[in-house]
Structure 1
């Protein structure tokens, strides 16, 4: 290499890694988390002019400082986890389901309808069973629509599922008007507040215990389905290459439709967990952005349910703690969103360094 060519060589270039060990990948993620906490501390100091250690103690107190706060953190973690689990089959098939928000809303609306219309006629255990079934069916229908169009007309599933979110919001708005006939309201009042029909009760003395049990069962079921079933294998093959799947005799259209029905059904079930197990009401903001946050959880976890649990817990922990900080220091609610945004920025950005590496120019040597 001539001296002139060496001078023109770039100082640093980006190259794709051939492979990376799990240990190294999680080390990179750990470094990203530490860096995000440092940046959050700097932002917090700039906003509050307080000791960042005191602020982080406030975050811990806000997330798990009291029994009620602990259970809310657990509840929100379970909710985010089941949505991420629901997205996993579709993403594994490389069907980009961006419609979890809409599927949650449809499941939540179906739940609210069952609580309103059947609350006085069914025992609570049977009503909850009906709620689980109907909310899952509602989510399935909302997942079926884009799947059929993708399978038979090769439509863009990203845009299709995204637009269905807004359709779902309009359906929720219509139902609110139909049930409540409010003036300028965007939410139904507490459903069955007096009788608590259709509400999740305590299980084994645990508040939100049914939420935890239901989510863990679904997480285990999806894990076994994806890893140890023929249909799970078909999903993986279709995700790798549809042409290969067709050559192997797999009915790709059927796999797409079936998988999206499963994905939508689980997200619809998440809607029942939110409405029946937590808020006991329905509104256009019932999903609360969880459908989009769950995409990050599923993607970062490489569709590993155990990793999803820890990622979900970390994000919810920081979100709940940030809300406490905003209240404690009299900050705008957006302050907690800023902290969450910083965390997500680093967590998403670290995936770049897991898949790519930077190579720096070596010492220039003149070669004859």
Structure 2
């Protein structure tokens, strides 16, 4: 291959070998010998460039890499080659390709610190975003004509009406599972009739609203984050600010109001469907007539259980919508951010809903509504 780049190793022994490079060492020709040059294991004392007809930056970089690896001296370089070698050597990176990994006792606390810092910044940002929303609501109260009623109605349809089928199916199946599993356990004590108490109280007080909030977070919260994130990427939000329209008033407040208003209705609907599912199982497995099951619900379930569920619902709706809108408004850079922020919105919303549900459980128990 005398018309391309080639090399020859001469000498050897204690004094080291001499590597003679010949031909053009250009980006278009060096590929044929680069692999062989990397495999040289002899100790090189010098690298001779006297027979190199042409050289460019790639050739100079390969030569410098060989010289560093073998601790060899470069000789016979032309004036042009010397300039390239000097420039490449000055720009050379001496760092390892894979930096050393810190020990676990350093990595773990460092990562924990990063997560805590990220959580703190997120909480501060969320509180600031809530403040912007409150200012936007105050501005709408002063100027009611700016309120977008049609946008609110549209969001009420998307958050509430459109989610009725999936929430109804989910709640019906949950009622069936609770009744069936509860009856199996209570049968060991001859108390199958207490299945009515179990289904009624757990659905009206806890699971109806909680599962509805989780479903709304996965369905509507993710939609809020994706919609607002896409609008941020396409600069629609910036365009609205440019023409004097507040994105908080036009985009965020209708979505938050829709979630807050629809969550109590969806939670009540979910609880009712779950009770119906339990009544179906009671009729088929326990011999409790369907209508008897429903009438007994009114007798064994305290009215404050309904109040507890309805009191939690608007708070859950606020958390879900606030998290979705906040994450959507944080999107910037590229389309990958939309997916990341949408996922983050759903995870944070579900986490906060469960934490708040635990807080409410303790609170209502302390005030005597346990």
Structure with a larger share of its residues in strand: 2
Same structural fold, with TM-score higher than 0.5 when normalized by the shorter chain: no
TM-score by length of 2: 0.31
Which structure is richer in relative contact order (CA contacts within 8 A, separation 6 or more)? 1
TM-score normalized by the length of structure 1: 0.31
